[in-house]
Structures are given as C-alpha cells and as structure tokens.
Amino acid sequence: MEQITVQSSVREQKGKGPNRRLRVAGKIPAVLYGHKSQNMALEVDPKEIFKILQSDTGENTIFLLEVPGKEKINVLIKEYQLEPVSHRLLHADFYEVAMDELLEVDVPLEVIGEAYGVKTEGGLLDIVHRELRVECLPADIPENIEVDVTEMKIGDQVRIKDLKVSEKIKILDDPETVVVAVEHPRAEELPTAAAPVPEAEQEPEVIKKGKAVEAEEGEEEEEGKGKKEKRES
C-alpha cells in the first residue's frame, strides 16, 4: 500500500469561534499526541482525513503526518467527530505511534460465505461481535479478521479461540467469547384463540344492546310525537 502523507499547520487560536472560522476556510482543528509528542494543536485538510477514514483500513491506517518543526511522524486517527446531519468532518485526533512498539486497536470481523444452517435449514445468523481488540506492531494491523461460516449448521458457534489469525497478532478478548452463531428461527407469535365467554360475563354486551334498543325506541317515540304534533297542527 502506498504511504500516505498528510500536511498540517500549527493552530494558533483555539476555541469555538476560531474553530468555526477555520472550518469556513476549508480546514478543521486537530490535536496530536502519543508516543513522543506532547499535545499539539494543528489544522489539516478534512478531505485528506476523510479519504483515510473511507479506505479499507479506516481508523487503523498508519500514515505520515508533516508537522512544522518536526520530521514526518507515523500516526493513526485516534478519534474524530462528524456533523450529525451532513456527516462533515469537524475534528480529528492523531496518535503518534512507534513502529517497533506493540499497539492495541479494534479490528472489524468479516463474515465469509453463507451458512448451511441459514441457506438449507432456515436458521438465523447471529453476528455477536463485529470488532475484536488486538495487539500487534503497527505494520501488522490487519484490515479485518475473517470467519468462514459456510459449514455452520443450526446450533453451531464460533468462538474467538476458533479464529485463525497471524502469529503476529494477539486477540485480547476472552478466547471463549462467541463471535458468530447460527440460531433456530424465531417462532412467530400467533394470536391466541379467544376462549368462550361465560354467559354471566356477556352482560356488558347485553347492556350495550339494551341501551341501543332503548335509544331506538326513544327515537321512535319522539318521532311519533312529532308526527302527532304535526297532525294536531
């Protein structure tokens, strides 16, 4: 993979107002910290950072950051903030890494194939964990950890200890943790048949009908009175 280099400038002003003006000018505020770096306020081009986030390695991408007064340093995106509606990049934190020191990162789990228990037996595939915490050197961070579910039947499970990963990678989560399972299909809840209602409990309905009858009779009586009054007039 081609080495990515991102340029940065020192951010002289801080706070909501200056940061807002910075974004209007096409830059975003950023912070650098980590291995040998003390906290440093920077500004960068959001397009370059967004392109890294959208790459195959995403947040785990190791790239070079040009910092004024320093040599190019290896960093990854530790945190970032997006605008909720437009999803524009608002802020980024860069973490300086030492290429010869172990690093802990979250790596996505990628499911390969279609489970036999889903395709043939009508089961449901349950992906319990979509990311795993791993420890490795920065250069050995994998894009993902694959799990092939093709042969899985209903009732089968894959635990962390069953995953095949490089010897250079150590998964830090509990080896007994289930990451993928094929479950029985959930039974649809059918409406329960109404039990016969005892006659004594049918009284409210009888009363309702009685009221309706009384109302109709009242209307007929009033109608009769109206007709009678009309004839007398």
Q: How confident is the model at residue 70 (pLDDT cuts 50, 70, 90)?
A: confident
Look at residues 98, 135, 123 and name the one whose alpha carbon lies nearest to residue 185: 123
Say which CATH number the domain at 127 has.
2.170.120.20
Banded model confidence at residue 188, pLDDT cuts 50, 70, 90 = low
Are 93 and 112 in a shared domain?
Answer: no
Judge whether residue 192 has pLDDT over 80: no
Instruction: Judge whether 127 lies within some domain.
Output: yes
Per residue in 101-118, is it b (16+ CB within 10 Å) or e — as a string?
Answer: eebebebebebeeebbbb
Instruction: State the pTM of this model.
Output: 0.70
Residues 11 and 90 in one domain: yes
Res 187: pLDDT: 63
What is the number of structural domains in the chain?
2
Residues 18 and 90 occupy one common structural domain: yes
- Asked if 55 and 63 count as a contact pair (C-beta separation under 8 A), the reply is no
Is residue 201 a part of any domain in this protein?
no
Q: How far is CA 203 from CA 101, 206, 218, in A?
A: 81, 5, 22
**Dihedral over Cα of 10, 12, 14, 16: its sign:** negative
Residue 120 within a domain? yes
Q: What is the average per-residue pLDDT within 82-102?
A: 93
* Residues in Cβ contact with 145 at an 8 Å cutoff, skipping those fewer than 6 apart: 107, 108, 109, 110, 132, 134, 163, 165, 171
Same domain as 135, residue 85: no
Same domain, 94 and 118: no
Q: Is the pLDDT of residue 203 over 60?
A: no
Q: What is the pLDDT of residues 19-65, one digit of tens each?
A: 999 999 999 999 999 877 788 999 999 999 999 999 999 999 999 99
Asked if residue 227 has pLDDT above 50, the reply is no
Domain harbouring 47, CATH code = 2.40.240.10
Q: What burial letters (b/e) apply to 122-140, b meaning 16+ CB within 10 Å?
A: ebebeeeeeebebebebee
| Domain containing residue 77 | 5-98
Neighbouring CB atoms inside 10 A of 11's CB total 19
* Single residue among 98, 113, 142 that ends a domain in this structure: 98
How does pLDDT run across 78-91, given as a tens digit for each residue? Answer: 999 999 999 899 99
* pLDDT above 70 as % of the chain: 79
Residues 93 and 10 in one domain: yes
Does residue 226 surpass a pLDDT of 50? no
CA distance to 49, 198, 207, 215, per residue, from 210 (Å): 76, 19, 5, 8
